[in-house]
Amino acid sequence: MANPAILTVDDDPAVSRAVARDVRRRYGDRYRVVRADSGEAALAALREIKLRGEQVAVILADYRMPVMNGIQFLEAAMDLFPRARRVLLTAYADTDAAIDAINIVDLDHYLLKPWDPPEEKLYPVLDNLLELWAATPDTSATETRVIGHRWSAPSFAVRDFLARNLVPFRWLLADEPEGGRLLAAADLSPADVPVVITSDGKALAMPSESDLASHVGLSTTPASDFYDVIVVGAGPAGLGAAVYAASEGLRTVLVEQRATGGQAGQSSRIENYLGFPEGVSGAQLTDRARRQALKFGAEILSTREVVGLEAAGTARLLRFGDGTSLAAHAAVLATGVAYRRLDAPGLSDLTGRGVFYGSAATEAPSCSGEDIYIVGGANSAGQAALHFARYARRVHILIRGASLTSSMSRYLIEQVEREPCITVHPHTEVVGGYGDEHLETLTVCDRSTGTTRTVKTSWLFIFIGAEPRTNWLEGVVSRDARGFIVTGPALLRDGQRPAGWSLPRDPYHLESSLPGVFAAGDVRADSVKRVASAVGEGAMAVTVVHRYLEAQ
């Protein structure tokens, strides 16, 4: 196969020649440098490269081009080569446009013209981007396909797992011609679905998440049996801890049972996160954080269920559901929370078949032209409502209280109120769900009058409450009445240290009742349930981990 390409596009011939010359001088022996003088010509070159089955590693585009500017070009180029790293060439006056491009095209870097000397201003940037590109699994080179039934909970679980782990895939119905042909080619039948056809042509019938992870490029096996710090949970707090720990030279492993990003990773748009004035999707934020952690040398293990934690001398030992274990000097628990189950007749049997917990973004296009119902009045429910409003005929938000003001951020309330297809139903709760193969009707109750009514719908998305994932810590660390991990000064009662505390000092901030084990993010008692707060606690946990390690 031909060398991967580095594509440059600039409508100024002199600048175009200069950037291509500098890039070729440094990388010409390993990469093919392709030069274009307009966005249209560059797209034509990319299409030709795509048809030949070749790859593009980096795209450098000038911002000020006629007809199609650099941001518009990069947005179109992403459809052809989503893995390619993107650089915008700008003049000093265009830095605002470059900042906009970070949100619009997930820009990796912007370079100010001129970039002389390239040894200082160009090559270090490209070296880093080429290294990141080479380290990213090429899951888009050949397509992963998922074959299943429309109203199948296992089929939904596979699609949700792939989507949340940012693995591109194509969804095919088993009773459609192409799905049937693929099943026949794999010597399987519709009874064997869900079936995943991996990028290398291997057919996986009803795969477990661990099997699926190992076949789509996710790491499931640690490279070592001992680390400086183990981080459990890859939501914002866990990713923040992994990035800061690895960047400061600690041997770091991040363990996640399902998918990086946690609940925040499912958000269609986070608009109050610092540094993203136009908002950022949870998937984008997760992808960037994951790439940062890997860049600094952290390991990320997927589909590993942690079932036990114990002290082993000065080490802290994690036990996994498969019987294996992993040890470290310290541990950071960032397991987050799960949405509380809605206890109403019929709903449990329909989970994954019209009843979903969380945003289930993979289902949004299927809701086109239909009525959907959302239970919950916090930010996650508001973000989901706005996302589904792009597809559904009408979005109904059901809340037990009188209004959204006590639980949802003001900016989200204003957006919900401006969206004509969203209706908020106060004092309303779901008291039953019914259907055969999938959800068909809901019974809802007006709590202010006690009257009930039945509505037809195939879609219910639930965002109620938060339950910490800490049952596996029973008897290991102190938890409050709801199961959240108690840390730091909150562990002291009348000046007395927690029972079993073996050190002469008080617990550090964020430290649990087991020395050397810290908690960060939503799982910690009395934490602020916001993405920025979770990231901050993850970073802060690394600071106290350093204090703990230095004292050993």
Total tally of structural domains belonging to the chain: 4
Within a domain: 53: yes
Using CA of residue 285, residue 289, residue 292, residue 294, what is the dihedral sign? negative
Structure tokens at 335: 């397991």
Give the orientation angle of helix 123-135 with respect to helix 13-27, to 10 degrees: 60
Within a domain: 218: no
Residue 92, pLDDT score? 58
Within a domain: 343: no
Question: Is residue 403 domain-shared with residue 515, that is, in the same domain?
Answer: no
Which amino acid is residue 168, in one-letter code?
A: P
CATH number at residue 155: 3.40.30.10
Q: Per-residue pLDDT tens for 99-139?
A: 666 556 677 887 887 788 889 889 999 999 999 898 875 54
Question: Is residue 127 domain-shared with residue 9, that is, in the same domain?
Answer: yes
Please report where in the chains the tokens 């010409």 appear, as a residue: 28
Q: Are strands 32-36 and 394-398 parallel, antiparallel or unpaired?
A: unpaired
What CA–CA distance (Å, rounded) separates 9 from 16?
A: 7
Q: Of 135, 161, 192, at which residue does a domain stop?
A: 135
- Taking the CA atoms of the chain, what radius of gyration do you get in angstroms? 25
Q: Of 462, 496, 531, at which residue does a domain stop?
A: 462
Structure tokens at 405: 């003001």
Largest CA distance in the chain: 77
Residue 279, pLDDT score? 80
**pTM for the whole thing?**
0.75
Question: Is residue 19 domain-shared with residue 121, that is, in the same domain?
Answer: yes
Question: Is residue 37 domain-shared with residue 126, that is, in the same domain?
Answer: yes
Q: Per-residue pLDDT tens for 225-256?
A: 999 999 999 999 999 999 999 999 999 999 99
Residue 139, pLDDT score? 45
Q: Which range has the worst mean pLDDT, 8-22, 293-307, 531-545?
A: 8-22
Question: Is residue 237 domain-shared with residue 304, that is, in the same domain?
Answer: yes
Question: Is residue 295 domain-shared with residue 390, that is, in the same domain?
Answer: no
Within a domain: 220: no
Q: Which range has the worst mean pLDDT, 67-71, 191-195, 354-358, 382-386?
A: 67-71
Question: Is residue 62 domain-shared with residue 149, that is, in the same domain?
Answer: no
Residue 55 has pLDDT above 50, yes or no: yes
User: If you average pLDDT over residues 178-188, what whole number do you get?
Assistant: 84
Residue 546, pLDDT score? 96
Within a domain: 71: yes
Residue 480, pLDDT score? 95
Residue 358 has pLDDT above 90, yes or no: no
Residue 263, pLDDT score? 81
Q: In a 3-state reduction of DSSP, which class is residue 41?
A: helix
Residue 201, pLDDT score? 74
Residue 137, pLDDT score? 56
Q: pLDDT tier at 95 (50, 70, 90 boundaries)?
A: low
Question: Is residue 441 domain-shared with residue 472, that is, in the same domain?
Answer: no
Q: Per-residue pLDDT tens for 252-297?
A: 999 999 888 888 877 877 888 888 887 888 888 888 899 999 999 9
Within a domain: 232: yes
**Residue with the larger pLDDT of the pair 242 and 178:** 242
Question: Is residue 334 domain-shared with residue 472, that is, in the same domain?
Answer: yes
What CA–CA distance (Å, rounded) separates 206 from 104?
A: 37
Residue 400, pLDDT score? 94
Question: Is residue 453 domain-shared with residue 523, that is, in the same domain?
Answer: no
Q: Of 211, 238, 259, at which residue does a domain stop?
A: 211
Within a domain: 217: no
Query: Which candidate, 301, 321, 322, 319, places its Cα nearest to that of 311?
Result: 319
Residue 470, pLDDT score? 95
Q: Give percent above pLDDT 70 in the chain.
A: 96
| Residue ranges making up the domain that contains 177 | 144-211
Q: pLDDT tier at 306 (50, 70, 90 boundaries)?
A: very high
Residue 531 has pLDDT above 80, yes or no: yes
Question: Is residue 420 domain-shared with residue 309, that is, in the same domain?
Answer: no
> What is the DSSP code (8-state) at residue 422?
E
Q: Per-residue pLDDT tens for 412-440?
A: 999 999 999 999 999 999 999 999 999 99
Q: Which parts of 351-472 fold into alpha helices (H)?
A: 379-388, 410-418
The full DSSP string for 65-99 is -SSS-HHHHHHHHHHH-TTSEEEEEE-GGGHHHHH
Q: Per-residue pLDDT tens for 384-399?
A: 999 999 999 999 999 9
Structure tokens at 17: 């020649």
Residue 487, pLDDT score? 96
- What are the distances in angstroms from CA 5 to CA 12, 84, 121? 21, 10, 21
Question: Is residue 34 domain-shared with residue 96, that is, in the same domain?
Answer: yes
CATH number at residue 518: 3.50.50.60
**Distance between the two ends of the chain, CA-based, in angstroms?**
53
Within a domain: 104: yes
Residue 75, pLDDT score? 84
